[in-house]
Amino acid sequence: MRGTGKADVFVMLAHPVGHAKSPGIFNQIFEEKGLDSLMVPLSCRPEDFDLFWDGLTAAENVRGVIISVPYKTRVFEKCAAAHNRAARVRSANSVRRQADGSWYADNFDGVGFMDGLAAGGHQVRGKRILQVGAGGAGASLAYCLAEAGAAEIRLADVDRDRAQALADLVAAAYPGCRIAVGAADPTGMDMAINATPMGLKPTDPLPMDTAALTPDMTVVDIIMEPAETPLLREAARIGCRIQPGRPMMDFQTEAMARFFDIERKDRGDG
């Protein structure tokens, strides 16, 4: 029986939260595994975040939280400790409760993204890559692409200062990767990645100049729904190899389930 008074409670936090898929995915996992656990979608106004987080921390049976826009940075700042993946971008997309009641942060955006690329047969080492988006998810992706051996990253973002700050940090950590801020233009690139929310709504503009796409390029979108974004539809029309956002979510889910230790196989908090 699920949802008893002894249930482990997990939260999906976003604003808005209506588009979030994690509650449905995790609740299905809990059902299949016969776990007395549930994940609840919650939202709050940004101006109420501090009050909300205090209440969530006081709720002793909340074991973990998945975080999406716009709270990844603010939640990270509430954590007592963090994995390097989260610390280097100062952004958390998952936090778990430690034995003393404090929060431990991690970030699986880059992990899920890279595992999804590998499963799709897409290579990163030695490639020239356009990445549009230097926000929470984009920061994780940039580090992981450089770590995986990308030869060059052209980083584009509407906030040029944010993009430059990220480029400087990634370059310092991985000097073998050439990374520079530039236009959302895939000319000369092997791969083009949309790491922005553009494409969630039908009225959104395309995140990059698709006129410069060529059939030898790979185009990746981190948006999970719609499965075929306008960018991917246009890229497929041109003849590019495409990678949708769902694999990134699937691999993140596996990593998060281990992180949360949903079956309580590991009682440690390290």
What are the residue numbers of the active site?
72
- As a whole number of Å, the CA-based R_g of the chain is 19
Q: What's the CA gap between 218 and 232, in Å, rounded?
A: 10
DSSP code string of the chain: --S-TT-EEEEEE-SS-TT--HHHHHHHHHHHHT-SEEEEEE---GGGHHHHHHHHHH-TTEEEEEE-TT-HHHHHTT-SEE-HHHHTTT--SEEEE-TTS-EEEE--HHHHHHHHHHHTT---TT-EEEEE--SHHHHHHHHHHHHTT-SEEEEE-SSHHHHHHHHHHHHHH-TTSEEEE--S--TT-SEEEE-SSTTSSTTPPPSS-GGG--TT-EEEE---SSSS-HHHHHHHHHT-EEE-SHHHHHHHHHHHHHHHTTT-------
Question: How far, in Å, CA of 185 to CA of 122, rounded?
Answer: 20
